[in-house]
A and B are shown apart, each in its own frame.
Chain A
Amino acid sequence: MIIIFVLISSIHDLFSLLSQMGRRAETIILPLELLRHLKPSEFNDSQEYHLWQRRQLKILEAGLLLHPSIPLDKSSPYAIRLREIIRASETKPIDTGKNSDTMRTLCNSVVSLSWRSANGTPTDVCHWADGFPLNIHLYVSLLQSIFDFRDETLVLDEVDELVELMKKTWSTLGINRPIHNLCFAWVLFQQYVLTSQVEPDLLSATHAMLSTEVANDAKKPDREAMYVKLLSSMLASMQGWAERRLLHYHDHFQRGNFVLIENLLPLALSASKILGEDVTIAEGIGKEKGDTQIVDSSGDRVDHYIRGSIKNAFAKVAVSIRLPFA
């Protein structure tokens, strides 16, 4: 976590340095700048430098060749050259010196690929890290720095300042407010699971985020395809996780910790509500009736959890006493 924190602050430093040079953040291709400015002599040994260089090139490969936000023409000469340079760097580091031909070709290819626009018109934002799902992975990793690395169940007091700082990456990563809200809810939920589910506040915070911001965003009519995709996969993941517990609450909860269900149940209900109300409507009525069990109201869902849990608990007892027929 501290590494990410240092990374953000150093990225911030680099951004401010470059903006002093009169360049806006969204026009900076960070891995390329790093490749140009960091010299092998600044590393402990050549192997460390080689690994670091590979990582920068891998990021360019992911953002420009594997997951470009604007579909790529496979026969593009820039793409072919970039691929060649990345392949060449596998065996030994490429020369990044000022007079290097390789470096000139790399800069040309990267700049040409990232300044493309969907319809050929000139653009004022470059695209090197805004393709899905690379952008979401990067942004989620960035968001995880809101947790205290000494006690990872805690959100840092400086969370608001940090988020303000992260907003500077929105244009580069192709993030907007709804995507940010969704990723924020996801990070809180993920942290609850990663920290062995000891901090129910993280679950309440996830629910608070879902039931207000995300629920509102999901209702908006002009949602991008990427947002809808992300919304349904993140929510389905949370809902699935919660429901595995809610449909076996006799196994997962005891007298002492059953109050936890007061955090889990609202989360499952909000996720289901958003998924049921908004996402399926957006995806159209392609599915046949009876294909999926449509449980629309919260009451029906709780009914479903109670019946499910009782049936599972009963089946478990029947197995344990070796009932001759089940």
Chain B
Amino acid sequence: MQIIETGSYKSTSLEVKDEASEALLQLAKEAEDLALREREVFSPILKKWHSIAASIAAVTLHQCYGAVLKQYLAGVSTLNNETVSVLQSAGKLEKVLVQMLVEDSAECEDGGKTIVREMVPYEVDSVILRLMKKWIGERLKRGQECLNRAKDSEVSFFNLFAEMNTAFKLIWV
């Protein structure tokens, strides 16, 4: 009974996580579309009133997606394929937004130094590395456990063998 319950719990939590990963992948794509639309349609006109209109849009989008990504990562305990895809798509979005900012703010007074400070990097690579280290650590720990268990069973097998030996001896004597 307990096994069934635990099993079903595991499957829902897995589903939820997949759903979240799926949503984040889509969100990154939509954010990229928004950025492109901003750059093509809105920024060129808004530039007349604000010299770094596209940069402001890029920074804001970066912050919006960053907040969601942070929440998502808070719920991620181990590395799996979905998490890696989410992080990779976040990295791709970040590249697009950085590019948009660089192109837009190159000519402004401070070369975009002030605005770029608002873009706190997602540090996708270091997140992947951290999760990977954790994953390797967990695997090693599990390996160790397996080994210990194997040792234990070896011992009990040895005991059993000894007991059986004794039993045989009793029969034959």
Per-residue contact bits, chain A 300-326, to B (CB 8 Å; 1 contact, 0 not) = 001100110111011101100111111
The 8 Å CB contact of A313, one of B24, B34, B46, B48, is B34
> Does more than half of chain B's interface fall in helix, strand or loop, or is it mixed?
helix
Count of A residues near B, CB < 8 Å?
31
Q: Does A259 contact B (CB under 8 A)?
A: yes
CA distance A284 to B53 in the complex (A): 34
B60–A306 CB distance below 8 A: yes
What residues on A are CB-neighbors of B23 within 8 Å?
Answer: 321-324
What residues on B are CB-neighbors of A313 within 8 Å?
Answer: 34
The 8 Å CB contact of B71, one of A254, A255, A262, A325, is A325
Question: With contacts A298-B49, A303-B50, A323-B68 known, is A310 near B27, CB below 8 A?
Answer: no
Chain A nearest CB, measured from B2 CB (Å) = 28
> Does more than half of chain A's interface fall in helix, strand or loop, or is it mixed?
helix
B53–A321 CB distance below 8 A: no
A307–B46 CB distance below 8 A: no
- Residues facing B in A239-289 (CB within 8 A) are 249-250, 253-255, 258-259, 261-262, 265, 269
CA distance A326 to B72 in the complex (A): 10
Residue on B with the closest CB to A305?
B46
The 8 Å CB contact of A317, one of B20, B34, B48, is B34
Q: Does B30 contact A (CB under 8 A)?
A: yes
- Residues facing A in B37-75 (CB within 8 A) are 37-38, 40-42, 45-46, 48-50, 53, 56-57, 60-61, 64-65, 68, 71-72
Q: Does A122 contact B (CB under 8 A)?
A: no
Q: Does B16 contact A (CB under 8 A)?
A: yes
What residues on B are CB-neighbors of A255 within 8 Å?
Answer: 40-41
Q: List 21 A-B contacts (CB under 8 A).
A: A249-B42, A250-B37, A255-B40, A258-B42, A259-B45, A262-B48, A298-B49, A302-B49, A303-B56, A306-B57, A307-B60, A310-B57, A310-B60, A310-B64, A314-B61, A314-B64, A315-B64, A321-B27, A324-B19, A324-B20, A325-B71
Which residues of A pack against B, CB within 8 Å? 249-250, 253-255, 258-259, 261-262, 265, 269, 298-299, 302-303, 306-307, 309-311, 313-315, 317-318, 321-326
